Structure 1
């Protein structure tokens, strides 16, 4: 079935993002827009129609990851269920192979293209922290948790969850084997105890 004029082909957008993720992870900011188009199997015009710059691609990749990680915050579940799911998502996305490669790619590009690094941080980790802080403020208002400073608590939760995960990822050091679900549950329970009403 032909597309309606102006309709965006989601498969092509996904192919672009996957190609960019792989190439950024391998080469950092040195990768060209033409190489991304070639690896994605799309024309340069298609690429530029969707993403006018590498900054926009980086922003889209980070937003996609942030949306996936913060999805439990929109579930309406109890705090332990929500925080366990969010911790598991963080561990899977950040400590998994793709996450480690992504962090190395951003670390490689940040000194040379700080605008891309900032766009990635703002659309990804910073947005995830903002969403978690809003959710924690809602829990404080509902008296399910006592969180006087939701922004600080959001950073604490991320730190508790990841430990040295970010550092190992950037350095390319393997993570010791661990049970993601067990660690996510333990993190959520300890965090809830710390912020019990």
Structure 2
């Protein structure tokens, strides 16, 4: 089926983001827009039409990851189920090979392109914390949990889930073996116990 004039081909957008993710993790912020276009199999014009700069690509990558991680918050359910699923996704996305490579890429990029690193943080981790904080505030309003400071609780939950996962990822140090599902469930259980009404 032919595309309607002016319609954006989302497969090209995804190809650009996938290519940029790989190249950022390999080369940091020094990668050129031309290299991203070539790896994605699109013209430079197509790339620039969708993403005028690396800053916009970084923001889109972080937003895409944040949306995937925070899906359980939109799905609904009891706090134990939601937080367990969220914890498992965090562990997958941050402690998995892709997450570790992404964090190293941002770390490599930050001294040379601090504005891109900040955009990635704002659209990704900070946005994820904001969404979790909103969800926790709603749990507080309904009486499911007792959270005097949802912002602090959101950071606490992320820290409980990841432990040194971020640091290992940035440094490229292997994670010790762990049972992802057991860790996710235990973290959610302990968090809920700490903030039980």
Q: State the shift of 1:76 in Å.
A: 1.3
Q: State the shift of 1:75 in Å.
A: 1.1
Displacement over 3 Å in runs of 4+? none
Q: State the shift of 1:44 in Å.
A: 0.2
Give the match for residue 18 of structure 2.
Answer: 18
Q: State the shift of 1:179 in Å.
A: 1.1
1:81-100 to 2 correspondences below 5 Å: 81-100=81-100
Normalising by the residue count of structure 1, what TM-score does the alignment of the two structures yield?
Answer: 0.99
- Whether 2:9 is the aligned partner of 1:9: answer yes
Q: Distance in 1 between matches of 2:7 and 2:91?
A: 35
Q: Distance in 2 between matches of 1:63 and 1:6?
A: 24
Give the match for residue 174 of structure 1.
Answer: 174
Q: Distance in 2 between matches of 1:49 and 1:56?
A: 11
SS of the residue 1:104 aligns to: helix
Q: State the shift of 1:141 in Å.
A: 0.4
Give the match for residue 47 of structure 1.
Answer: 47
Give the match for residue 141 of structure 2.
Answer: 141
Q: Distance in 1 between matches of 2:55 and 2:80?
A: 36
Give the match for residue 190 of structure 2.
Answer: 190
Q: Distance in 1 between matches of 2:11 and 2:42?
A: 11
Q: Distance in 1 between matches of 2:80 and 2:88?
A: 12
- Whether 2:124 is the aligned partner of 1:124: answer yes
Q: State the shift of 1:111 in Å.
A: 0.9
Q: Distance in 2 between matches of 1:122 and 1:164?
A: 21
SS of the residue 1:124 aligns to: helix
Q: State the shift of 1:178 in Å.
A: 0.9
Give the match for residue 73 of structure 1.
Answer: 73
Give the match for residue 153 of structure 1.
Answer: 153
Q: Distance in 2 between matches of 1:19 and 1:74?
A: 28
Number of aligned residue pairs? 197
- Whether 2:60 is the aligned partner of 1:60: answer yes
In structure 1, stretches of 5+ residues that fail to align are: none
Q: Distance in 1 between matches of 2:17 and 2:99?
A: 14
Q: Distance in 1 between matches of 2:184 and 2:138?
A: 21
Q: Distance in 1 between matches of 2:154 and 2:133?
A: 5
Q: State the shift of 1:5 in Å.
A: 1.1
